[in-house]
Amino acid sequence: MQKTVLGLKTEYIERGEGDIVLMLHGWGSRAELFDGLIELCSHRYRVLSPDMPGFGGTEEPKEPWDVSKYADFILEFLKPYAPKSVILLGHSFGGRVILKLTKRELPFEIKKIILVDSAGIKPKKSLKQKLSLICYKTGKGVLSLPPIKAAFPEALEKMRKKRGSADYNSATPIMRQTLVRVVNEDLKHTLSGIKAPTLLIWGTADTATPLKDAELMEKLIPDAGLVKVTGAGHYSFLEAPEYVGRVVASFLNIN
For residue 79, the domain's CATH number is 3.40.50.1820
Looking at the fold, whether 118 and 143 belong to one and the same domain comes out as: no
Looking at the fold, whether 118 and 190 belong to one and the same domain comes out as: yes
Looking at the fold, whether 154 and 239 belong to one and the same domain comes out as: no
* Residue 244 pLDDT level (bands cut at 50, 70, 90): very high
Mean pLDDT score, 68-72 = 98
Looking at the fold, whether 102 and 137 belong to one and the same domain comes out as: no
**pLDDT given at position 47:** 98
Strands of the sheet containing 2-5, edge to edge, are 2-5, 8-15, 46-50, 20-24, 85-91, 109-116, 198-203, 224-229
Least confident of 54-63, 77-86, 129-138, 243-252: 129-138
CA atoms of 74 and 24, how far apart (whole Å): 9
pLDDT higher than threshold 80 for residue 141: no
Looking at the fold, whether 136 and 55 belong to one and the same domain comes out as: no
Average pLDDT, whole number, for the chain?
90
Last residue of a domain, one of 154, 179, 204: 179
Instruction: Give, to the nearest 10 degrees, the angle between helix 155-163 and helix 127-143.
Output: 160
pLDDT higher than threshold 90 for residue 23: yes
Please name the helix (run of DSSP H) or strand (run of DSSP E) that holds residue 160, with its range, or none.
helix 155-163
Looking at the fold, whether 152 and 86 belong to one and the same domain comes out as: no
Pseudo-torsion of CA 227, 233, 237, 241, nearest 10°?
Answer: -100
Q: How many structural domains is the chain composed of?
A: 2
**pLDDT given at position 124:** 72
Looking at the fold, whether 165 and 198 belong to one and the same domain comes out as: no
* Residue 168 pLDDT level (bands cut at 50, 70, 90): confident
* Residue 155 pLDDT level (bands cut at 50, 70, 90): low
- Report the percent of the chain where pLDDT is more than 90: 80
Mean pLDDT score, 62-83 = 98
**pLDDT given at position 132:** 43
Mean pLDDT score, 204-219 = 97
Mean pLDDT score, 212-223 = 98
- Residue numbers of the domain that contains 111: 2-122+185-251
Looking at the fold, whether 35 and 90 belong to one and the same domain comes out as: yes
Cα angle 37-39-44, degrees, rounded to a multiple of 5: 100
Query: What is the pTM (predicted TM-score) of this model?
Result: 0.86
**pLDDT given at position 125:** 53
Pseudo-torsion of CA 118, 123, 128, 130, nearest 10°?
Answer: 120
Mean pLDDT score, 108-113 = 98
pLDDT higher for 132 or 103? 103
Mean pLDDT score, 78-86 = 97
Looking at the fold, whether 27 and 140 belong to one and the same domain comes out as: no
Looking at the fold, whether 191 and 217 belong to one and the same domain comes out as: yes
Mean pLDDT score, 4-18 = 98
